[in-house]
Amino acid sequence: MKTFSSKDEMYKFSSAARAEGKTVGVVPTMGALHEGHLALMRKARKECGVVIATIFVNKTQFAPNEDFSRYPRTIESDKAGCEAAGVDAIFAPTTDEMYSPDFATYIVNEKAAGILEGAVRPTHFRGVLTVVMKLFNITAPHVAYFGQKDYQQTVVIRQMVNDLDIPVDIRIEPTVRERDGLAMSSRNRYLSESERKQAVCLHTSLVKCRELMMGGEKSAKNLAAAMRAVIDTQPDAKIDYVEIRNPDSLEPVDNVRPGDVALVAVRLGKTRLIDNMIL
Ligand code: AMP
């Protein structure tokens, strides 16, 4: 397995693979890898001739009050995980390599900033889309893998690819969970023992929503209220949002139909967790 920190060397590696007729797959991550990330890499391994994993904690997607400086950085164990998952090359640049001091060009989804994650984190998707576009340009993939865990992110990335005619095939893989249902996340390690136990309420609320819907409840308002009630049983859980939305447009729905998506964001102490389920 190769590790690149230079954009030029990364691009040369990928171009050479493309010239040999290989399908190049990329898995963008911020490191602190867990089974969710590794599942994306193993999927890429099955489907692509060359697999690139990127590891870059992207400053532009964090607001000044967020956890950029304390975000976990575990590059040595990340490398071992990538190697075991069959990755051919890691791209792990520095912030200086990615962003020159006079950097000034961003990609903005004009709708996303106002809703769900974008309402709470107004500059988040601008940072995500900009870095994903840069990573696509540097790693020149045919295919890119993302997790359903970050549902709104998958929607804005697909829209960017459609709107800007980017020749990359976007594949979304299911959320990998802990045994109790908590979605794996690099941020779970911030949780205290008590918060960790309470954190399962995100998943429990989604399961409750699905059960009620299967039982015939169609009102998004009633389903959201039931989900809130589940989360509110946990003393330290503070809800940012509980929503049921159209899976493509993320517009609110009144009457829930199969295929709509339930999304939750909850704060536990200083940690903010998100999860979702297709109903
Ligand atoms: P991150 O390092 O958090 O930026 O995540 C990198 C990629 O891994 C994104 O596409 C995430 O959606 C995906 N991912 C994170 N957690 C999970 C999970 N539990 N299951 C599946 N994919 C995940």
pLDDT at res. 159 = 97
Whether the full predicted model's pTM is greater than 0.95, yes or no, is yes
Cα–Cα dist 38/72, whole Å:
17
E strands, the chain, where? 2-4, 24-29, 50-55, 89-91, 143-147, 169-173, 237-245, 261-268, 271-278
Q: Does the structure show a pLDDT above 90 at 143?
A: yes
Does the beta carbon of 78 lie inside 6 Å of ligand 1? no
Return the ligand 1 atom nearest residue 185 CA.
16
pLDDT at res. 114 = 87
Cα–Cα dist 254/66, whole Å:
33
Cα–Cα dist 210/133, whole Å:
35
Does the beta carbon of 141 lie inside 6 Å of ligand 1? no
Return the ligand 1 atom nearest residue 176 CA.
20
Amino acid at 166: I
Does the beta carbon of 186 lie inside 6 Å of ligand 1? yes
Model confidence over 234-244: pLDDT tens digits? Answer: 999 999 999 99
Ligand 1 centroid to 38 CA: how many Å? 9
Ligand 1 centroid to 269 CA: how many Å? 22
Does the beta carbon of 184 lie inside 6 Å of ligand 1? yes
- Catalytic center residues: 37
Q: Does the structure show a pLDDT above 90 at 279?
A: yes
